[in-house]
């Protein structure tokens, strides 16, 4: 199945954007009568057929529409500090979208090495990963947000913060509560937000603020992980938790 992205799908006839039209006609060599699929990034999947294969504006006829395609039982929001190397953060965006994620909030933390974030390029990474992994939901990408705003924002669901303060045995250190293994506290079918800090980790004050606002401190294991690796590990843990819950329910 080949997916094309159309934020606003017009039925019964739709004209693809020039970028998507060029890909369909010039790259994939699709012609009149060939089928393809559209997603709007909000759960709608449409089956369509090409009426006029114009690389500047490919005209389609919508034949079928499915809403809620691939809908998941809960929402996962990741708050992650962008890495100094922008390519590493884009790698995380790509892989997290492939696995399954609903929202990403780039965090501006005390130890952040990157304090400027350009969403335009990141959005293209998300769209490409959504289409490649055959998903109909495009993760919502927030602007760069101060850590305090995210930590104190009301959230109905489970709130976790992964940090490295303390020893590899899970003890919190600096007077913080014990860090529990993320697999132990991750719920199934429950909206969840997980915070991952920058290369220099969260500060003691940031961890304390998060805990004061209902966040549970967690550990991702004994290995010291890069920011983007830690974030993807958390996404995969949530994915597996919900996958097994679905299989064994």
Block mean pLDDT (10 aa), the chain, length 249: 93 96 96 97 97 97 96 94 94 97 97 87 96 97 97 96 69 62 92 96 96 96 93 96 59
Same domain, 216 and 169: yes
- CATH number for the domain that contains residue 123: 3.40.1280.10
Please say which residue of 66, 88, 104 terminates a domain: 66
Residue 71 lies in a domain: no
What is the reported pLDDT for 73? 87
For the sheet containing 13-15, what is the strand order?
3-5, 35-39, 45-52, 59-66, 13-15
Looking only at the bridges linking them, the beta strands covering 3-5 and 35-39 are parallel
Same domain, 174 and 56: no
What is the reported pLDDT for 64? 96
- The terminus-to-terminus CA distance of the chain in angstroms comes to 29
What is the reported pLDDT for 249? 43
What is the reported pLDDT for 165? 72
Same domain, 87 and 204: yes
Residue 9 lies in a domain: yes
- Domain holding 36, by residue range, is 3-66
pTM attached to this predicted model: 0.90
Same domain, 233 and 200: yes
Q: What is the 3-state secondary structure (H, E, C) of 112-135?
A: CCCCCCCHHHHHHHHHHHHHHCCC
């Amino acid at each position: 199945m080949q997916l094309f992205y159309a934020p606003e799908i017009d039925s019964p006839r739709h004209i693809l954007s020039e970028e998507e039209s060029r890909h369909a006609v010039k790259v994939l060599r699709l012609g009149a009568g060939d089928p393809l699929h559209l997603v709007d990034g909000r759960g709608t999947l449409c089956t369509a057929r090409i009426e006029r294969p114009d690389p500047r504006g490919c005209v389609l006829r919508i034949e079928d529409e499915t809403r809620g395609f691939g809908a998941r039982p809960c929402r996962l929001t990741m708050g992650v500090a962008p890495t100094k190397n922008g390519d590493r953060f884009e790698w995380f965006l790509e892989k997290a979208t492939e696995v399954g994620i609903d929202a990403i909030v780039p965090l501006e933390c005390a130890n952040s090495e990157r304090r400027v974030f350009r969403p335009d390029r990141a959005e293209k990474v998300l769209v490409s990963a959504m289409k490649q992994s055959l998903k109909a939901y495009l993760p919502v990408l927030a602007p760069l947000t101060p850590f305090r705003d995210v930590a104190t924002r009301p959230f109905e669901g489970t709130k976790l913060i992964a940090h490295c303060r303390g020893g590899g045995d899970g003890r919190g250190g600096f007077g913080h509560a014990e860090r529990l293994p993320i697999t132990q506290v991750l719920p199934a079918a429950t909206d969840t937000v997980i915070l991952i800090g920058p290369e220099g980790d969260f500060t003691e004050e940031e961890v304390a603020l998060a805990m004061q606002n209902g966040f549970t401190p967690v550990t991702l294991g004994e290995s010291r992980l890069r920011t983007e690796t830690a974030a993807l590990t958390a996404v995969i843990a949530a994915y597996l938790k919900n996958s097994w819950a679905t299989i064994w329910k």
